[in-house]
Amino acid sequence: MHPIPTLALESELAAGGADFVFGLDEVGRGALAGPVMVGVVALKSADLPRLKVPAGVADSKMLTAARREAIHLDLENWAEAWAVGSCSNHEVDEWGITHALGIAALRALADVEARLDLGPDSFPAAILDGTSDFITKAADSFDAPTLPLLPTVTTKVKGDVSCATVASAAVIAKVTRDRLMVRLAQERADVAPYHWEKNKGYGSAEHIEAIRQHGPSDLHRVSWHLTG
25 belongs to an annotated ligand binding site: yes
**Distances in whole angstroms, Cα of residue 7 to Cα of each of 100, 105, 155, 172, 176:** 28, 21, 15, 18, 24
Determine the Cα–Cα distance for residues 62 and 51; give it in Å rounded to an integer. Answer: 23
For residue 121, give every residue at least 6 positions away whose Cβ sits within 8 Å of its Cβ, in sequence order, or none. none
Q: What angle do CA 142, 116, 126 make, to 5 degrees?
A: 60
N- to C-terminal Cα separation, the chain: 35
129 belongs to an annotated ligand binding site: yes
Show binding-site residues for a divalent metal cation: 25-26, 129
Give the residue ranges of the annotated binding site: 25-26, 129
